[in-house]
């Protein structure tokens, strides 16, 4: 029971959220570089031009990871740092940065897990239609080929896309994220389809140009569902809700099945094909074959879930959260059960070894008078969630867990106002302070979750 002896304990970040150096060493611009600089888009006019200055401080940051005892680190490559126009010209200085980071990690005994796309669409490709252009599958494939050629001698774990739900939904439907557009539904389905094709092409290219056998995965997200009780009918209701389409079409990207069934089962869910029929692009058998290019592991980012029960009318219904229900500083509900039922439902359906590629919370962290950062709420949250994950790990094949995030960082539209890190970042000085939760997590890693 519990976590396997080789369970991978890690933490995660993404390029734009921590790197900074947005205009250095011939990096190309991406949609966030452009969008965040325009007034009114990001909380407080913040942007990621310096962020955590990780580009210059990565050696110290790897030292901190070592201090925490991380076994693995999930980070993303900024596509426009290595291919400034998205295709064609390779920027050797960008490659050199990731080379040095990988070497530093390996030297510290930390396994690198590389994500290819965590939302930085090169601006030059955006101008050519971005996700709307079917050629994006080739462009992304070219980038994946470069990653395999240059990094796969030392990196054997890759994830293709991070949270397509968000970069399509928030970027192109609600317009809360870069590039800040509210596109017609029809266009967003086209983009989603092309994003999945791009994923498939990247898998092919990674495999073809790999210098060693790779473990390739995909890292979508979505609120999970968990049953109110463990009665079979409530479990059935939660499962059914998790894999069904969103009741509101303008929120259609918030679902699991549309994004994961094609990748893992080779077809779009029937319910969605029927419901979204007026908005769908042409979908060919060749597309579906490409999208379903076999992967090795399934990553899922899980932050919270909805409590579901079977209603008296035989239809699933959401149980109301009581007054004062616990929530994080981002006002996200605290629902540890999501980390038991989520992986369980996903494993049942997709039968792939799983990673939790992100999980965590923001807190109102401050430096206390004693100079330390006390974050009991984060420790309590993680203890509860990891306790549930431990239960799941005793039942299904879960390979690892990546806490989000290693350090406080640029939280997209919320700028630096939300702190998700195990490590506190004092932005004016760039000083890092390990929060109490970082020391606590170190203990969890050391005893492989025994005390959870």
Task: Name the site residues for ligand BGC (rule: CB under 6 A).
Answer: 14, 17, 162-163, 166, 221, 301, 358, 404, 411, 420
Within 13 Å and on the Cβ side, how many CA atoms surround 222?
A: 28
- From the candidates 104, 124, 358, 418, give the one annotated as an active-site residue: 358
Bridge partners (DSSP) listed for residue 76? 115
- Helix or strand run (H / E) with residue 394: none
Q: How far apart are CA 58 and CA 61, in angstroms?
A: 5
Task: Assess whether 248 carries a catalytic annotation.
Answer: no
- Whole-number minimum distance, CB 174 to ligand BGC, in Å? 14
Q: How far apart are CA 396 and CA 421, in angstroms?
A: 28
Comparing C-alpha atoms, which of 172, 63, 161 is closest to residue 120? 161
Structure tokens that stand for 183 in this block = 């596109």
Query: Residue 138 or residue 176: which is nearer to ligand BGC going by CB?
Result: 176
**Omega cis (within 30) before 405:** yes
Q: Please report, to the nearest 10 degrees, the dihedral formed by the alpha carbons of residues 32, 33, 34, 35 taken in order.
A: 40
CB 118 within 8 A of CB 16: yes
E strands, 142-192, are: 157-162
- Whole-number minimum distance, CB 223 to ligand BGC, in Å? 11
Query: Residue 17 or residue 253: which is nearer to ligand BGC going by CB?
Result: 17
Query: Residue 48 or residue 262: which is nearer to ligand BGC going by CB?
Result: 48
Query: Residue 188 or residue 221: which is nearer to ligand BGC going by CB?
Result: 221
Cβ atoms within 10 Å, residue 367: 14
Query: Residue 319 or residue 329: which is nearer to ligand BGC going by CB?
Result: 329
CB 28 within 8 A of CB 80: yes
Comparing C-alpha atoms, which of 179, 381, 214 is closest to residue 293? 214
Query: Residue 87 or residue 253: which is nearer to ligand BGC going by CB?
Result: 253
CB 271 within 8 A of CB 338: no
Locate all alpha helices (DSSP H) within 226-364, ordered by sequence: 232-242, 257-265, 270-275, 285-291, 338-350
Task: Assess whether 163 carries a catalytic annotation.
Answer: yes
- From the candidates 19, 120, 124, 163, give the one annotated as an active-site residue: 163
- Whole-number minimum distance, CB 419 to ligand BGC, in Å? 11
- Whole-number minimum distance, CB 301 to ligand BGC, in Å? 6
Q: How far apart are CA 101 and CA 74, in angstroms?
A: 12
Q: How far apart are CA 193 and CA 133, in angstroms?
A: 11
- Whole-number minimum distance, CB 362 to ligand BGC, in Å? 7
Query: Residue 52 or residue 290: which is nearer to ligand BGC going by CB?
Result: 52
Active-site residue set: 163, 358
């Amino acid at each position: 029971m519990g976590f396997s002896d080789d369970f991978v304990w890690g933490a995660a970040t993404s390029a734009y959220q921590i790197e900074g150096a947005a205009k250095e060493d011939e990096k190309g611009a991406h949609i966030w570089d452009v969008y965040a600089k325009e007034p009114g888009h990001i909380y407080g006019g913040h942007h990621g031009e310096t962020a955590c200055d990780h580009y210059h401080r990565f050696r110290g940051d790897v030292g901190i990871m070592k201090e925490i005892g991380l076994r693995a680190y999930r980070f993303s490559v900024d596509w426009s740092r290595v291919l400034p126009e998205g295709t064609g010209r390779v920027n050797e200085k960008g490659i050199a940065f990731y080379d040095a980071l990988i070497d530093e990690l390996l030297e510290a005994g930390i396994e690198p897990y590389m994500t290819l796309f965590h939302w930085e669409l090169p601006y030059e490709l955006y101008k050519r239609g971005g996700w709307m252009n079917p050629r994006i599958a080739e462009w992304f494939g070219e980038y994946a080929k470069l990653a395999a050629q240059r990094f796969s001698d030392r990196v054997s774990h890759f994830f293709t896309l991070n949270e397509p739900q968000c970069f399509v939904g928030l970027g192109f439907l609600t317009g809360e994220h870069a590039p800040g557009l509210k596109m017609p539904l029809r266009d967003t389905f086209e983009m989603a389809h092309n994003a999945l094709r791009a994923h498939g092409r990247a898998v092919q290219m990674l495999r073809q140009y790999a210098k060693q056998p790779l473990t390739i995965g995909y890292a979508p997200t979505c609120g999970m569902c968990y049953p109110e009780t463990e009665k079979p009918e409530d479990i059935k209701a939660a499962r059914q809700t998790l894999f069904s389409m969103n009741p509101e079409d303008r929120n259609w990207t918030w679902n699991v099945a549309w994004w994961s069934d094609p990748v893992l089962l080779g077809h779009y869910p029937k319910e969605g094909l029927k419901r979204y029929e007026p908005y769908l692009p042409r979908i060919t058998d060749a597309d579906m074959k490409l999208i379903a290019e076999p992967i090795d592991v399934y990553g899922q980012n899980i932050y919270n879930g909805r409590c579901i029960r079977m209603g008296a009318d035989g239809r699933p219904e959401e149980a109301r959260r009581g007054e004062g229900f616990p929530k994080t500083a981002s006002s996200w509900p605290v629902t540890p059960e999501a980390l038991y039922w989520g992986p369980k439902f996903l494993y049942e359906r997709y039968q792939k070894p799983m990673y939790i590629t992100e999980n965590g919370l923001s807190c109102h962290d401050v430096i206390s008078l004693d100079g330390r950062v006390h974050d009991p709420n984060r420790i309590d949250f993680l203890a509860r969630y990891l306790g549930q994950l431990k239960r799941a790990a005793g039942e299904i094949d879960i390979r690892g867990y990546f806490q989000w995030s290693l350090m406080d960082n640029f939280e997209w539209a919320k700028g630096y106002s939300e702190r998700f890190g195990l490590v506190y970042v004092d932005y004016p000085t760039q000083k890092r302070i390990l929060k109490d939760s970082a020391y606590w997590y170190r203990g969890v890693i050391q005893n492989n979750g025994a005390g959870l």
